[in-house]
A and B are shown apart, each in its own frame.
Chain A
C-alpha cells in the first residue's frame, strides 16, 4: 500500500506543478493577485509531494520491497544499508526522481531566498521552473515510473551495480544533479525576463549568485566523479573523454562562460545577448547531457531505439525547451538595448575572449561527442573519437584562455592602455621570467614545462593581484577571494593533470610471493593473497608491503571481489599523498601463488581534485559576496 501512496504522491506533485503554472498565469493575465501569488504555495506543495514520493521509494529500498520492479532490479537483502539508500538513484527511474526532487528544492530555495525580487518577477521565474518540473514529472510518470509493481514478486532482488556500491557514488550524482538542475535557475531568470520583455538590472543582479552556486556544485560533482573513476575503476585514470563525462563537462564550460559574462552584463551593461544565449545553452546542454546519459544513447545508439517511448519523449521535451526559448529570444532580441561600448583592450574584451574560447572549447567537445553518434544513427558508418582528438583540439583552445585568464583581472573597465598594464605588471613579469628560466633549466619534459609555466603564470598573477589590492588598503570582498581561489584552482589542476599524465608510471607485473619490484625508489613486495568474504561479496585480498629506503611505509591490500550476481570488481589499494599516489590493483591468479598486479606511481594526482575543490569553493565564496546581501539587508531595514 505504501508504494501506491508514493505513486499517488508523484501524481499529486505533477498536479501541483500544473497548478504552479496555470493559476499564476491566469492571475497575471487577469490582474488577479490572489491567483498570481499561488505560484509559491503550489511550488511548496509540489516539493512536499515529490519528497513524499522519494521517501516512499527510499523506504521500499530499506525494507527490501521486491514487489517494486525498480527495487527488485537494483537491490537485494544482502546490500549494506547505506548502499540501499544510494541505490534509490542508482538507475534510470530513481535518478530521474532525484532530478525532480532537486529541481523542486532549487525552486523552493529561489522562492524563499529571493526576498528582494519583486513578486511579479518571482512569479514568472517560478512559472518557468514549474514548466520544467511538469516535463520531468510527466517523463517520470509516463515512461520511467519507479513505483511499477511486479506481477510475480521475486523473493530476492538482483544487485545494485557493484561499481555503484561506493561512497563516491553516494554523493557524486546528487552533487552533479545539483549543478545540472541548478542551471535551470539562471535559465528561468532569463526566460522570465524575456517573457516580460524586461531584461533589466534586476534579473542580471539576482541570477548571478544562483548561477555561481550551480556552477560550484557542477564543478564539485564533476570533481567527485573523476575521483571516483580513479579509485574505483582500477585503471588509474581520472578522465577518459568518455561521452558520459563530456555530457557533464559541456554545461560546465558554458556555465563558466556564463558566470563571467553575467559579471560584465551586470556591471557594465554589455554582452546582454551573449548572456541570454549562454543561460539558454547552459541549461539546454545540461538537459541534453542528463537525458542522453539516462536514455543510454551515449553508450549505444541502439539502447535509444530499445525504448522508443522514452526517446520520443526526450526529443519532444528538448525541442520544446531549446526551440521555445530560442524562439522567445528571437522575438525579444530586437527590443534589447544595445551593448555599452568598450575598447579592444579592456576588462570587457578580456572576458569576451575568455567567453569565446570557452564556447569554442565546448563546441569542440560537442563535436567529438555527438558527431560519431549522429553518423551512427544515420547509418553513415562508425567512427571512434577519443583522447587524441580532444588532446589535439581542446587543449590548444584552452591554453590561450588560461593565459588571458591571468591578465584580464588587471585590465581596467571599458578602456586600458598597453603601457599602463605593462607598468603595472612589470615587476610581476620579471619574477615570472626568472621562474620560467629556472623551470627551463630544471624541467626537461616540454609538456610539463608548459604546465609549470602556466602554473607560475596564473599563481604569480593572482598573488600580484592580491598584493595590489592590499596596497590600496582595500579589503578584498568574497567575490574577489572567490575569483582568486578559482583561478589558482585552475593552475593547481593544470599542473596535477599534466605531471601525472607525463610522469605517471604503470607496470603490469607477474609477482610471486616475496618477489619485489622497485618503482621510483619505492619497493613493492608481494606477500601473497588471502581469501575473504563480506556481506554481499567475497573475493581475494592481496598483501603488498611498500618500502622506501629499506623502511616499511605502507601496507596495501588491493581486492578482487566477486559479487552475488557474479560480477567481478577490482578494488585498488592506494597510498595517497599530496606529492604522489602509490596505487596497486590485483589482477589474475597465475598459479603457484603468483598473481598479476598492476602498479601505478601517480605524481601530483591529488592536485587534480584539489584544483577542482578550489574552483568549486571559489564559486561558492563569490556566490555569498556581500553585495548580494547588501540590498536585501537595506530592504529589510
Chain B
C-alpha cells in the first residue's frame, strides 16, 4: 500500500469526522452565561456568609460586600452575550472543507517532505531494522554478492567505526577507495576516519587523501573543512581561515554547516584581534613538578594537560594547555588565549581550580592510568601562581 493510499484514507476519516459533526451538531449544554453569573452570585453570597460565620469579615464589611456582589452581578447581567442559534445546512462550508482540507494537507506535506528513496544498502537496513552487528552481517553478505558496491563498503567502514573496530573500518574504507578513488566525499570520509583513529593526528596518508579530494574538487566543502583543521593543527591560522572562507563561499548561507563554519572563522578572527591587541586580562601561572619515580615510568611522548575549571558548577575546562612531556619546561601560563570557549574566557570567571594531568594518550577523557592533581580554589582576578606536584 503506498503512501498516497494511506494519506487518502487519513483524509477520508478526517472529512467524515467533520461532516458528521456538521450534520449532527453537538447539543448545546444548556448553560446560559446570564444564569451562570446569577448562580455564581448566589454561591458567592453563601461563601461570604460562611466567611462571616467564621469571623473572616465583620458585620459592616459583610453587608458592604453583599452589596458589592449584587452590584457586580447587576453589571454582569447588563452585558449581553450573543449566542449563536441558527442551525444552517452549511453545504457551502462542507464543500469548502472537502476541497480545501486535502489541498492544504497534501500541499503542505509535499512541500515539507524530505523523504527520498535510497540505495540498495539503505534498503537492506531499512527493511530489516536489526542490531548493528546483525546489520553488518547483512552488509557483508550483500558485498559478497556485489563486491564492487563502493558505497556499501563506505557504509561498512562507517559501521565498524561506530563499533570502535578501527582496523576493520579502515580496511573497508580502503576497499571503497580502491573502487572509487576519485570520489571526493569518500576521500574526505576516509581521511577523517584515519585522523580519528590515530589520536587526531594527521598522517601522510590522510593529508594525501585531503589533497587529492581538493584536486578533484577544489571547492568541496568537506575537504576544505578538513584541510582547515589540518592547517590549525600546524598553526597555520591564516591558511585555515582562507580554506574555510572558500568553503563558506560555496555553502548555502541558510544551512547549519555554514553557520558552524562561520562561527569557527569568527573565533579565529577574535583570537587574532586579542593577540594583536595583547589584551590579556587574566593570567594563571602554573608550576608543575613531577616526582622522579613517576617520570621513570613515563615516556617523553606522554602528554601533560594543565587546565583550569570552575570551582563550583560544571566541571568542563575553561582554559587548557596540552603539551608533550618532552616539551614541558616546568611552568605554563594560562590566559584568555587558552580559553576553550571564546565566548566565556578565563577572565570572566572568578574562583577556579587548577588541574594538572599526566596522560599517555592525551585524551580529553580521563584514562585509567592518568595521574592527576587538583589545586585549592584560587581567584582568577589575583593573577595567581599555583604550584602543583604530581606524585
Contacts and interface: CB of A to CB of B under 8 A. Distances in A.
Interface string A8-33: 11011011101100010011101111
Given A300-B343, A414-B65, A119 B313 contact: no
Interface stretch (A195-203, A455-463, A548-556, A613-621): A195-203
A596 B372 contact: yes
Contact of B343 (A117, A118, A301, A414): A301
B86 A31 contact: yes
Interface stretch (A170-178, A213-221, A302-310, A496-504): A302-310
Nearest to A240: B313
B43 A631 contact: yes
Interface stretch (A61-69, A251-259, A279-287, A397-405): A61-69
Contact of A116 (B36, B114, B259, B366): B36
A557 interface: no
Nearest to B156: A155
Nearest to A411: B56
A156 B28 CA distance: 54
A149 interface: yes
Tell me which of A40, A117, A414, A568 has the highest count of chain B C-beta atoms within 10 A of its own C-beta: A414
B159 interface: yes
Given A19-B18, A306-B263, A472-B54, A155 B139 contact: yes
Given A8-B109, A588-B372, A201 B37 contact: yes
Nearest to B162: A156
A40 B26 contact: yes
A306 B114 CA distance: 21
B43 A630 contact: yes
Given A7-B109, A8-B109, A32-B84, A1 B6 contact: yes
B22 interface: yes
Nearest to A424: B55
Contacts of B198: none
B370 A588 contact: yes
Interface string B210-246: 0000000000000000000000000000000000000
B83 to A, nearest CB: 5
Contacts of B43: 205, 627, 630-631
B81 A118 contact: yes
A200 B56 contact: no
A34 B33 contact: no
Contacts of B260: 306
Contact of A196 (B36, B81, B86, B115): B81
A368 B36 CA distance: 45
Contact of A32 (B44, B86, B136): B86
A589 interface: yes
A305 B18 CA distance: 42
A590 interface: yes
A589 to B, nearest CB: 6
Contacts of A5: 3, 6, 10
A508 interface: yes
A113 to B, nearest CB: 12
Contacts of B155: 152, 155
Contacts of A369: none
Interface string B200-217: 000000000000000000
A601 to B, nearest CB: 17
Interface string A30-61: 11111111101110010001000000000000
A624 interface: no
B129 A63 contact: yes
A307 B22 contact: no
Nearest to A196: B81
B277 interface: no
Given A77-B132, A119-B31, A591-B371, A155 B348 contact: no
B47 to A, nearest CB: 7
Main secondary structure, interface of B, reads helix
A302 B343 contact: yes
Interface string B111-141: 0111110100010011001011001100100
Nearest to A570: B315
B61 A412 contact: yes
Contacts of A76: 132
A340 interface: yes
Contacts of B61: 412-415
B87 A34 contact: yes
A273 interface: no
A119 B365 contact: no
Contacts of B343: 300-302, 376, 382
B97 interface: yes
B125 A155 contact: yes
A566 interface: yes
A302 B256 CA distance: 12
B195 to A, nearest CB: 16
Given A119-B29, A119-B31, A1 B3 contact: yes
Interface string B8-47: 0011001001100110011011011100110111011001
Contact of A115 (B28, B29, B60, B82): B29
A40 B29 CA distance: 12
B6 A34 contact: no
A91 B365 CA distance: 24
Nearest to B36: A202
B276 interface: no
Contacts of A627: 43, 47
B369 interface: yes
Interface string B61-90: 100110011001101100101111111101
A386 to B, nearest CB: 8
Contact of B125 (A30, A141, A153, A588): A153
A568 B368 CA distance: 12
Contacts of B183: none
B139 A34 contact: no
B14 A16 contact: yes
Contact of B256 (A64, A307, A387): A307
A268 interface: yes
Contacts of A240: 313
A16 B84 CA distance: 22
A151 B56 CA distance: 70
A65 B129 contact: yes
A120 interface: yes
Tell me which of A154, A347, A415 has the highest count of chain B C-beta atoms within 10 A of its own C-beta: A154
Nearest to B373: A590
A166 interface: no
Contacts of A507: none
B162 A77 contact: no
Tell me which of A14, A196, A201, A269 has the highest count of chain B C-beta atoms within 10 A of its own C-beta: A201
Contacts of B131: 64, 77
A469 interface: yes
A198 B79 contact: yes
Nearest to B259: A306
A51 B254 CA distance: 32
A337 B29 CA distance: 29
B95 interface: no
Given A49-B14, A118-B83, 11 more contacts: A1-B1, A1-B3, A38-B25, A117-B31, A155-B135, A155-B136, A198-B79, A201-B41, A202-B40, A376-B343, A414-B64
21 contacts: A8-B10, A15-B105, A26-B93, A28-B84, A33-B28, A34-B88, A34-B90, A66-B129, A118-B33, A118-B81, A119-B29, A153-B122, A156-B132, A200-B76, A201-B76, A308-B254, A387-B312, A412-B57, A589-B369, A590-B371, A631-B39
Interface of B: 1-3, 6-7, 10-11, 14, 17-18, 21-22, 25-26, 28-29, 31-33, 36-37, 39-41, 43-44, 47-48, 50-51, 53-58, 60-61, 64-65, 68-69, 72-73, 75-76, 79, 81-88, 90, 93, 97, 101, 104-105, 108-109, 112-116, 118, 122, 125-126, 129, 131-132, 135-136, 139, 155, 158-159, 162-163, 254, 256, 259-260, 263, 312-313, 315, 343-344, 348-349, 365-366, 368-372, 374
Top 5 nearest A-B pairs by Cβ distance? A414-B61, A41-B21, A156-B132, A201-B40, A153-B122
